[in-house]
Structures are given as structure tokens and as C-alpha cells.
Amino acid sequence: MSLLGPLDEHLNHQTSQPFRVPGTTDHRFYDRHWLEAVSTDGQVMMLVGMGIYKNMGVADGFMVVQQNRQQTNVRVSRHLENDLESHVGPLVIDVIEPYERIRVSLERGDHPIAAELEWNSVYPVYLEAPHFTFSDGRVIQDTNRYDQIGSWSGWLEVDGRRFEATNWWGVRDHSWGVRPDVGGFEPSHGHRREPMLWLWTFATTDELCVHFQLREDTLGNVRHLDGEVSWPEAAGREPVRISRVEHDIEFISGTRDWSRLHYTLHLADGTVVEMDAEALQSAWAYRGTGYENGYEDSKGVGVVRGELIEHDVVDLTVPGKVTREGEPYFPGHREQPARVTVNGRSGYGHLPVMSSGRIERYGLGKK
């Protein structure tokens, strides 16, 4: 197999190797698109993603749709060989214009979802602070990620029912590097799960855009804070960094899923931004997308499976619980779309609240 492909014609190489060869031999190296859509009435939500795992020789992806607290999942996989284009079986994610337009399609077939959608940017891209974790002599994570708000148009079908997308709210990210739980196996050495509360927010109204991530330890000490508030270009204002976040979160009893929350954002220029949010439908069950030991073989993303298309449906009717065909289904990490109000103006957002271990402030986990 030739290592050369179309990208090697461009003057963008980062190592002495062709693009097909990453700069690390770590099997967990990945490069991934992720995009979300929320309909204007909040009744239909869609996630789509695709990853390339060069050292595993795999590309895989998913499209999942939530309506009436039912999550319908389609997962796909293929051999990578030297084709680094972002297509896997019937699923295509095509960057038409960098940071401006992305086309997403899922052809009809022996699966319950089909789509022809286009994402268009609304705000400039935001590059997060690098994510690097080193523990007990090994790299646990070494990634970069950028995020961006946009809007969706086109159509989406689920079980033959068609939804027309006009100015649906959208958010996306593109991340790459080395992260845990890729390729079906993860060394246990150094992979310690310490208590942690992780808040990630990307929310917009017609007035402004809020983006931040905050990590706190079991006692609420801040371990990481990165983010800013920005305004539409017409407002003529420069983004302002977020210097402190106060939070008050209502969790669904007996779960780590939230129903309502309030954030007070203190900005570097002394301004204070107040944000309230109400969860839309249910948090996504990420195992259905392939993450967190997903796929029917329970091995997760980046695993060699050959040419594969599979689908299923999970029930999210009971808040904080997930079942498949009536049986309990471990959902993996949860991420929550929401209806927001920021300084009195309404909008939408993607607001994961994820935690592990004991979180004293909210009484989560065992003492």
C-alpha cells in the first residue's frame, strides 16, 4: 500500500513522514469531527461524529437522533488504508469551506436514519487551551480541540418521518491527539479516576455567546478554567475572558444528570453574566454513539471491525435511566442540550455536567 495520498501534494507536512503516518506511534492517536443540532422547538436533536485512527487503521462514525426521549443510533466503521477522507459507508462529513460550511449526509439504507444537512458558522472558531495529563510515567491525554457555533439547514429522517431543518441551533468541535479508551484496550497503569466535577458550556442568545470549561476537585478547588464571552461581529466588541464561575446545579435524584442549573460568570473586565438553563429531553447516552464501550462488541471506538453498519434504539423515558429492549443499558458519559436564558435573553446551549467520585458540594458519590 502506498503511503502517499492527496494531502501529501500540499505544503503542510508536520513531520518527515507522509500524512498517513502520525507523529506518534501511540495506538490511541485520533482525529475527530463532532457536531450537534437542536431543532428550533427543541423537540428533535441530532449528534454526528467521525474519527480517524491512523495507528489502528480504522475510521468510524455515528449519527444519533433523540425525539420523545428515544435515542436512535446508527454506527459505522471501515478499514482506513490510505484513504483519509471523512466518509464511512453511508456517512459523509465534508468540509466545504474551512470554519464556515460543513455538509453532513447519511444515505438511506438498512438503518433508520437518513440526512442531508449543512452547517454554517455563526461565530468564529475558538481554540481551547491544550489538554495534557501525565500520570505515573505515562501520557494519559495529549489533545487539542476547537469549538464553534453555527446553524443547520436541510432535512433529517428517522424511521421514515422527515424533519425539515431551518436555522436549527448547532455546535461543533474538532479534536485530535492522544486520549484514553481508543482501540479497544487501555493500559491501567496511571489511568486513575480521581474525583472530579467537569462543566463544559457553549451557549448562545441573539445577544452573545458563552463558552467555557471548568474542572474542580472533590472539594470544589478549581483545577482548570478556560473560556470567554463574545458578541456578534456587528456589536463591535472584543471577546472577554471568564475569570471565575459560580454554579448551582439541580441534579435528578439518585443520578448525576441535571435538570436545571444557574451559572454566574465573572468576566475579566468586571462584568457579571447570569445564565439559567433547563435540560432539553434527556442527556445523550454516549455509548449509543460508540464511545464508552459502545458498538455491539462493547469495545468502543477505533477498533478494527471491517466494513460495518449497525443500529439500535435506547429508551430515555425515565430521567437519569437508560434501557435497551427493556434491559438496563450503561450509557457512558452524558452530555446535555439545554434551553438557556443569559442576562434575560433566551437561546440554546450544550451543557455537559460530568462528575466522578465524591463531589462534596452536591452530595454526589460515597463519603
Which residues of the chain register pLDDT less than 70?
A: 1, 189-192
Q: Which domains does the chain have, with CATH numbers?
A: 30-184+191-362 (2.40.370.10)
Instruction: Return the amino acid letter for 166.
Output: T
For residue 191, what pLDDT is reported?
60
For residue 189, what pLDDT is reported?
65
Residue with cell 460508540: 290
For residue 1, what pLDDT is reported?
60
Contact 307, 78 (CB under 8 A): yes
Got the DSSP string for 147-191?
EEEEEEEEEEEETTEEEEEEEEEEEEEEEEEE-SS-TT----TT-
- Residue 223: which region, alpha, beta or left (left: phi > 0; alpha: psi -120 to 50)? alpha
